[in-house]
Amino acid sequence: MIFKPVSSLTKEEKAFFIEKVGVYTRLLELHANSKGDSFTMDGTIDKSVLTELMNIGVISTEEEVHALRKVLGEDKYDGFISAVVYFLNHKEETEPIVFRLRNKSRKVLQETSEQRPAINVADFFCGAGGLSLGFSKAGYRIVFANDFQKICTETYIYNHPEIPSSKVFTGDIKDIIVDIKDYVKDDVDMVIGGPPCQSFSSANQRRVIDDPRNILYKYYIEAVRQLCPKFVLMENVKGMLKVANQVVEDYHSIRAFKDGKEYTYNVSYRLFNSVNFGVAQNRERLIYLAVRDDIEKRNGITPESLFEEIEDSCKGNTVFNLQSALEFIKPLEAPRVKGQTEVNDERTGMKIDLNHYDSCGNEYLKSINDGKQMEFVFNHKARYCSDVNYEIFKRLGQGEDSTNPKIADIMPYSRRNGIFKDKYYKLIADRPCRTITAHLKMDCLSHIHPYQIRSITPREAARIQSFPDDYLFLGAYLKTYMEIGNAVPVLMAEQISRVIKKHFD
């Protein structure tokens, strides 16, 4: 469920609890304002409000209302209760707006989802859920997801209401790998994920992949061995090419047992660029595909033949440029005062705002938003810009970087241009965007907006990664860049998964 009762929260959970309550309140407040309505509250909570608080999941008993008020504080509490009253007075109209933030609504969706036949998938190192979203859109069912970072699993749970939160595990994979079948209760048809690996700079060593720093990759292999799926997809950075053959050896050494039978795997790898999958971004990623031996024989397929099908499926895809991702969204100005990234502001943007633009205004937006018009826009907030950076942003032209003579007199890293050549870079509107990376949480100087004097917002980065506009990234502002930068582009995941899906029994 999206909420735990307020009395059972840990200290870390309280911060996300308060944030999600704020999202609920904000969504209904904006909707009411757009309709010319306002929240009305007479200061009392009747039985219907108490029941709805339980349906949302923030309390389990009437006595917890006092704890709810204490955790939220007076202002947030009053706003939340007003939002609940508004919901009850406009339930049919507003339930689609807040169903992700209502345990009762999520339960109905999950029960319906579980009744449908589907291909079961376990997603390890799931992050904010880009890979899972692509597979879900293709008709797969995610039966388990795991990530170490709470911010990622909170975002994942919010945006995947069809998956019970009990099946999303926050924690180190090493804590579950020994008893993995106690966590993954369902029969798994496919394992997906992108285990983080350390630098491969010492690739002349005989078995670099055995470096203790790459233990997470080893746990991923062990998860495959224990779950014995029919197919495996592993995504990683281009640098993993240096140890590709070592990875192949590891997959070939798997001996998995299921129903008294022993199975092995054939595996291959291919470097793909997300731009070929209709994503407005040049992003090279190494994809490994493994096929269980019985499926390979029965269906007459190999990992190599699957890769050929995937490449064929990309023929005819439109190559989208950056501008297609940046259109039909509110222009913003960068805050010039520090500490404003969590403050809603008409000029610099808001975490949640009404959408006054066409969500399907061009073919790219239509593809990432599945042809739906979005009432809200999420995470479209500009980040702080210093006086020096503002001047640099203003002077640079598209495609120009730190070495440009226009900024030589004010360039802070002029003595280290060899290292910081890409420290400043203004994006080119009529080409696919350069790779969106997790480093954007540190600064966005490498991704300066092509027209506006600022760096790109988290929402613009998410669009470039082909996330739909209604995908809300929870957590602190700067960390949302990390969530987005680490993700697999949704459209890329979806297209690959559709090819593989054809070969399930």
Amino acid making up residue 331: P
The span from the CA of 447 to the CA of 460, in Å, is 11
According to DSSP, residue 144 is labeled E
Asked if 334 and 385 touch (Cβ cutoff 8 Å), the reply is: yes
- The catalytic residue among 197, 360, 433, 444 is 197
- The gap between the terminal CA atoms of the chain, to the nearest Å, is 32
Token pair 């933030």 is found at 101
Asked if 335 and 384 touch (Cβ cutoff 8 Å), the reply is: yes
Asked if 344 and 25 touch (Cβ cutoff 8 Å), the reply is: no
Asked if 407 and 395 touch (Cβ cutoff 8 Å), the reply is: yes
Residues sharing a CB contact under 8 Å with residue 395, sequence separation 6 or more, in sequence order: 404, 406, 407
Token pair 């692509």 is found at 134
According to DSSP, residue 224 is labeled H
According to DSSP, residue 405 is labeled G
According to DSSP, residue 345 is labeled B
Asked if 377 and 469 touch (Cβ cutoff 8 Å), the reply is: yes
Q: Rg of the Cα trace of the chain? A: 24
Give all strands (DSSP E) within 274-386, no chain letters. 284-292, 349-354, 376-381
Token pair 């907030």 is found at 381
Asked if 441 and 379 touch (Cβ cutoff 8 Å), the reply is: no
Residues sharing a CB contact under 8 Å with residue 418, sequence separation 6 or more, in sequence order: none
Vertex 161: Cα angle to 156 and 164 (nearest 5): 85
- Active-site residue 314, yes or no? no
The span from the CA of 348 to the CA of 341, in Å, is 9
Asked if 237 and 197 touch (Cβ cutoff 8 Å), the reply is: yes
Residue in 469, 483, 474 with CA at minimum distance from that of residue 441: 483
Residue in 233, 213, 132, 144 with CA at minimum distance from that of residue 180: 144
| Residues tagged active-site | 197
